[in-house]
């Protein structure tokens, strides 16, 4: 057996061995990036969108008056016997992000989100949906466009764009992580004297040295490494350069920023920063949540309610005003202004702060302060004091 063959038998195909690859058996960098960094950033953004939309209340109106009927119960409490409304809306958001579309269909008095489906598109007649699958159950029924609610997030899948960008950027990230590991890893030279045996017993001793014993020796705890005759270990001295993990964090932040921008989520909000939270929430509502809510409103109203009902002011509305948490003291002045200008009733103000409406007739009346009057008309001055009859 030659010396080169003996080395390959001990260390594998390569003539040299790294402690990371042979001793610690780490997961490959490419696999780690793909499964951890990108998925973590996407899931983090999707969860924020889903959790926020679940805070929105679906308001249902009958002839212009808000009522809690069966539709309100379906959209806010129980979509189907096996799924509550929160799970229902979260599934829709995840479908929109990962597949760019979601299909909602109705069976009886329940609403379901399809796991998969096939669509046949037409130009001047209704599209057709076939092969609708729900939890491994494939439905033989064919749905027309008017029978379902088909939600589409964008003209092109956001996730596909993210994947295409990440293919290029992942190389830079992999290089940065590899450089960090290389600059901070300890380099050892294992010297074996020529007289050291080259048989199976000697190979087993070297394998034991490079795996079990070396791993324990390089651990954080105090340890000792006994060596046999013919073995010598020397640590290569560092040139003083130490890689900073902040460089890798900056690249990960770049991935996070790209994904957050794709979903129109403020970067600070996506990362959990609380600085300027009020402005971040306003931007989050304006550019991310409200467009989704408008899409849901339009699709549900035109399919679930229909044109005739909507024209008679019987419809639903996803109200996103309750998503943003406000202190009661901060909203007190606004509530008072809305009430004295006749914009809100007492029950309207109660609903705005998350409390139940009383339903009392007197709390449905609107009041206007005497300080307000039509333009050009003078308000009768308020008289006060005692009247002097002798004057």
Residue 159: closest CA among 46, 74, 290, 282: 46
The domain segmentation of the chain, as residue ranges, is 1-69+93-100+155-187+236-325, 327-374
Residue partners of 214: CB distance under 8 A and separation at least 6:
19, 23, 188, 225
Q: Is 151 helix (H, G, I), strand (E, B) or coil?
A: strand
User: What's the pTM?
Assistant: 0.65
The yes-or-no verdict on residue 114 having pLDDT over 60 is yes
Residue 150: phi and psi, rounded to 5, are -105, 110
- Rounded to whole angstroms, the Cα distance separating 285 from 42 reads 19
Please calculate the CA angle 319-60-363 and round it to the nearest 5 degrees. 85
Q: What's the pLDDT tens digit per position in 284-335? A: 999 999 999 999 999 999 999 999 999 999 999 998 887 877 666 667 777 7
Q: What is the rounded CA–CA span in Å between residue 352 and residue 363?
A: 14
Nearest to residue 352, comparing CAs of 344, 340, 360?
A: 344
Cα–Cα distances in angstroms (integers) from residue 97 to residues 45, 86, 130, 266, in the given order: 10, 17, 22, 17
**Predicted confidence band of residue 90 (pLDDT cuts 50, 70, 90):** very high
Which H or E run includes 117? strand 116-120
Task: Measure the CA–CA gap between 107 and 41, rounded to whole angstroms.
Answer: 36
DSSP H or E segment with residue 202 = helix 200-208
What tens digit of pLDDT does each residue of 60-80 get?
A: 999 988 888 999 999 999 999
Note the Cα 306 to chain centre separation in Å: 32
């Amino acid at each position: 057996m030659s010396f080169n063959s003996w080395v390959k038998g001990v260390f594998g195909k390569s003539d040299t061995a790294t402690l990371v690859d042979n001793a610690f058996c780490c997961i490959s960098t490419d696999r780690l990036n793909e499964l951890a960094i990108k998925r973590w950033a996407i899931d983090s953004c999707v969860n924020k969108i889903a959790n926020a939309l679940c805070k929105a209340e679906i308001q249902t109106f009958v002839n212009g008056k808000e009522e809690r009927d069966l539709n309100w119960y379906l959209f806010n409490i129980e979509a189907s016997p096996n799924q509550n409304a929160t799970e229902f809306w979260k599934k829709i958001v995840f479908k929109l992000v990962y597949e760019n579309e979601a299909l909602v269909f109705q069976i009886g008095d329940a609403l379901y989100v399809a796991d998969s489906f096939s669509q046949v598109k037409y130009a001047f007649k209704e599209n057709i949906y076939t092969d609708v699958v729900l939890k491994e159950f494939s439905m033989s029924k064919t749905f027309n466009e008017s029978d379902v609610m088909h939600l589409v997030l964008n003209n092109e899948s956001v996730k596909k764009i993210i994947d295409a960008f990440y293919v290029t950027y992942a190389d830079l990230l992999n290089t940065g992580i590899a450089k960090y590991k290389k600059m901070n890893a300890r380099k050892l030279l294992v010297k074996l004297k020529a007289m050291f045996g080259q048989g199976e017993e000697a190979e087993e001793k070297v394998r034991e040295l490079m795996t079990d014993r070396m791993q324990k020796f390089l651990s954080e705890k105090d340890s000792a490494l006994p060596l046999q005759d013919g073995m010598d270990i020397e640590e290569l001295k560092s040139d003083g350069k130490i890689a900073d993990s902040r460089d890798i964090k900056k690249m990960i932040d770049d991935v996070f920023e790209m994904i957050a921008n794709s979903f129109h989520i403020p970067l600070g909000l996506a990362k959990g920063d609380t600085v300027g939270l009020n402005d971040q929430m306003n931007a989050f509502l304006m550019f991310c949540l409200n467009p989704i809510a408008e899409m849901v409103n339009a699709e549900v109203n035109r399919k679930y309610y229909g044109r005739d009902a909507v024209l008679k002011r019987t419809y639903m509305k996803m109200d996103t005003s309750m998503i943003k948490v406000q202190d009661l003291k901060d909203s007190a002045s606004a509530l008072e202004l809305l009430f004295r200008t006749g914009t809100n009733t007492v029950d309207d103000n109660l609903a705005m702060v998350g409390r139940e409406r009383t339903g009392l007739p007197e709390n449905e009346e609107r009041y206007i302060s005497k300080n307000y009057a039509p333009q050009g008309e003078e308000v009768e001055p308020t008289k006060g004091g005692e009247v002097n009859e002798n004057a």
